[in-house]
Amino acid sequence: WFVFFSVAAFVYRIFITFAIAIFVASQYFFIGVLLAIWAVASAFVLPLIALIGYVGWSPRLRRQRPRVIATTAGVAISLFILIFVVPVPAWTNAQGVIWVPEQSAVRVGADGFVTRLIARPGDRVRRGEPLIDTTDPALPPKIRALEARESELLARYQSEIVAQRVRAQITLEQLKAVEADLALSRERAQDLVVRSPGDGVFAVDAPQDLPGRFLKQGTQIGYVIPDAAVTARVVVPQQAVDLVRSRTEGVQVKLAERAAETLTATILREVPHASDRLPSMALSQMGGGDVALDPTQGRDGKSLETLFEFEIALPTAQPTGYGGRVYVRFDHGRESVASQIWRSLRQTFMRHLTI
């Protein structure tokens, strides 16, 4: 316990000192840098000098000095090899969301109440195939009334066209207006049947809640997942983007709803511009993610820092929870602990000092 406490206390002290140095450097750069140098010197350099002096010249070690020097040198060489030579795995963690192409979204074509699901979730469907049936109770009576009005105006026009051409012209204009309204109503009646936007697998969340529900025109109720690979959009902070870009040797993914399962993915492309807009609010701290939002424009999904987006292909054809969170690890091979610590410190200073 005492050994663990001493190590933990040392790490905590170093962490607090560097946090203070970064905060001061964000306001007064040179003072913060001097404070960081002092922290390194007081934590590592001065104790090392004191240890060398004690081992090399302390009278208390006169008889055991050769053995102590050999032991100390062995420990020092071992630590040096472990920290500066032995390669260990390096990676970058990021979060993203399951991403489905916009053209794959299933949207309601007209206002109405859902009566039944024609296709079941998981069914393979083709473009134009009916998926969901909805109804508008006011629409059939309106169509019948317009059809009756159309017949009435047509009969009137035919009776007026010979002897009353002026009145016949007025009736014709009324007839054209009714025909246009009738065509629009019939089109709305056809749009009450929600159809597949393409070929693929029908996916919808909570299908049991749809029957009887009122949906407005344009409401998205699901997706038709194409046969192409399902993708995820992953956000990477600016300080880590070069590492992900140039040194990624593998990508591992965990879905939020299947955290025990690790999937292997591949990078398809990088979105060709940096942005402070999140692809989904699920990635923000408000949505359970780790991206801090701009307090002045947080509702618009604007983050405090610049982010880069990568599109990755998932290996499974039918993941659940479209729009849900994914946890991604970009593997960068192996490198020494010292190299990783130095890069982390440099990235931390760059992020907080906006270098």
The pLDDT score that the predictor gives to residue 1 is 58
Verdict on whether the full-model pTM lies above 0.75? no
Q: Which residue has the tokens 């998926």?
A: 131
**251 with 341, same domain?**
yes
**77 with 121, same domain?**
no
**187 with 134, same domain?**
yes
Is residue 68 predicted with pLDDT exceeding 80?
yes
- The amino acid occupying position 227 is D
**209 with 326, same domain?**
no
Confirm if 297 and 215 have CB atoms less than 8 A apart: no
Is residue 319 predicted with pLDDT exceeding 80?
no
Given the DSSP bridges, would you call strands 130-135 and 214-215 parallel, antiparallel or unpaired? unpaired
Q: Which residue has the tokens 């134009």?
A: 128
Confirm if 290 and 237 have CB atoms less than 8 A apart: no
Q: What is the mean pLDDT of residues 47-73?
A: 85
The pLDDT score that the predictor gives to residue 321 is 60
Query: Cβ of 53: how many Cβ atoms within 10 Å?
Result: 10
**271 with 171, same domain?**
no
Q: What is the mean pLDDT of residues 206-224?
A: 87
**96 with 241, same domain?**
yes
**56 with 204, same domain?**
no
Say how far apart CA 326 and CA 323 lie, in whole Å.
9
The pLDDT score that the predictor gives to residue 203 is 82
Higher pLDDT, 23 or 170: 170
The pLDDT score that the predictor gives to residue 224 is 85
The pLDDT score that the predictor gives to residue 226 is 77
**230 with 349, same domain?**
yes
Per-chain mean pLDDT for the chain: 84
Structural domain ending residue among the three candidates 180, 209, 225: 225
**140 with 57, same domain?**
no
Is residue 354 predicted with pLDDT exceeding 70?
no
The domain of 71 spans: 2-85
Say how far apart CA 22 and CA 10 lie, in whole Å.
18
Q: Residue 310: give its domain's CATH number.
A: 2.40.30.170
**205 with 215, same domain?**
yes
The pLDDT score that the predictor gives to residue 250 is 93
Cα–Cα distances in angstroms (integers) from residue 55 to residues 42, 45, 49, 64, 77, in the given order: 19, 15, 10, 10, 16
**232 with 153, same domain?**
no
**218 with 230, same domain?**
no
Q: Residue 134: give its domain's CATH number.
A: 2.40.50.100
Output phi, psi for 332, to 5 deg. Answer: -115, 25
The pLDDT score that the predictor gives to residue 252 is 93
**Domain count of the chain?**
3
Is residue 324 predicted with pLDDT exceeding 80?
no
